[in-house]
Amino acid sequence: MPQRITYTNQVGAALDRMLASTDCTSLFVIADTNTSRQVLPRLHSVRLRQATPIVIPAGEESKGINTLADVWQTLSDSGATRRSVVINVGGGMVTDLGGMAAATFKRGIRFVNVPTTLLSAVDAAVGGKTGINFNGLKNEIGAFAPACEVIISTCFFDTLARQELRSGYAEMVKHAMLNGAQAFADVMNYEPDGDEPNHLLQLLEASVAVKQRIVEQDPTEQGLRRALNLGHTVGHALESLSLQHGRPVPHGYAVAWGLVTEAVLSHMLLQFPSTDLHRLATFVRQHYGTPGITCDDYPTLLHLMHHDKKSRQGEVNCTLLCQLGNPVLDNVIAPDDMHTALDITRDYLD
Ligand SMILES: NC(=O)c1ccc[n+]([C@@H]2O[C@H](COP(=O)([O-])OP(=O)(O)OC[C@H]3O[C@@H](n4cnc5c(N)ncnc54)[C@H](O)[C@@H]3O)[C@@H](O)[C@H]2O)c1
The model's pLDDT over 330-340, given as tens digits with 9 standing for 90+, comes to 999 999 999 99
Question: How many distinct helices (H) and strands (E) make up the chain?
Answer: 13, 10
**Is 204:7 a contact under the CB 8 Å cutoff?**
yes
pLDDT digits (tens, 9 = 90+) for 287-333: 999 999 999 999 999 999 998 777 666 789 999 999 999 999 999 99
pLDDT band for position 2 (50/70/90)?
low
Report the nearest-CA residue for atom 21 of ligand 1.
Answer: 91
Residue 1: pLDDT over 80 = no
DSSP designation for 156: T
CA 318 to CA 304: how far, in whole Å?
13
User: Which atom of ligand 1 sits closest to the CA of residue 94?
Assistant: 19
| Confidence at residue 259, expressed as pLDDT on a 0 to 100 scale | 98
Phi-psi region of 283 (alpha: psi -120 to 50; beta: other; left: phi over 0): alpha
| Confidence at residue 221, expressed as pLDDT on a 0 to 100 scale | 82
| pTM as predicted | 0.94
- Mean pLDDT (the chain) is 95
Decide: residue 45, CB within 10 A, 0-12 exposed, 13-18 middle, 19+ buried: buried
- Fold entry, domain 167-349: Dehydroquinate synthase-like, alpha domain (1.20.1090)
In the chain, which segments carry CATH 1.20.1090.10? 167-349
pLDDT digits (tens, 9 = 90+) for 40-73: 999 989 999 999 999 999 999 999 999 999 999 9
Report the nearest-CA residue for atom 9 of ligand 1.
Answer: 92
Dihedral pair phi/psi, residue 89, rounded to 5°: -120, 100
**H or E element in which residue 208 lies:** helix 197-217
Report the nearest-CA residue for atom 44 of ligand 1.
Answer: 124
**Is 174:259 a contact under the CB 8 Å cutoff?**
yes
What's the 90 CA to ligand 1 centre distance in angstroms? 7
| Confidence at residue 65, expressed as pLDDT on a 0 to 100 scale | 98
**Is 304:241 a contact under the CB 8 Å cutoff?**
yes
- Fold entry, domain 4-159: Rossmann fold (3.40.50)
Q: Is the CB of 252 within 6 Å of ligand 1?
A: no
In the chain, which segments carry CATH 3.40.50.1970? 4-159
CA 228 to CA 256: how far, in whole Å?
13
* Residues 240-269, mean pLDDT to the nearest whole number: 96
**Is 345:298 a contact under the CB 8 Å cutoff?**
no
Dihedral pair phi/psi, residue 32, rounded to 5°: -100, 175
pLDDT band for position 28 (50/70/90)?
very high
Q: How many residues does the chain have?
A: 350
What's the 91 CA to ligand 1 centre distance in angstroms? 3
pLDDT digits (tens, 9 = 90+) for 84-140: 999 999 999 999 999 999 999 999 999 999 999 999 999 999 999 999 999 988 889
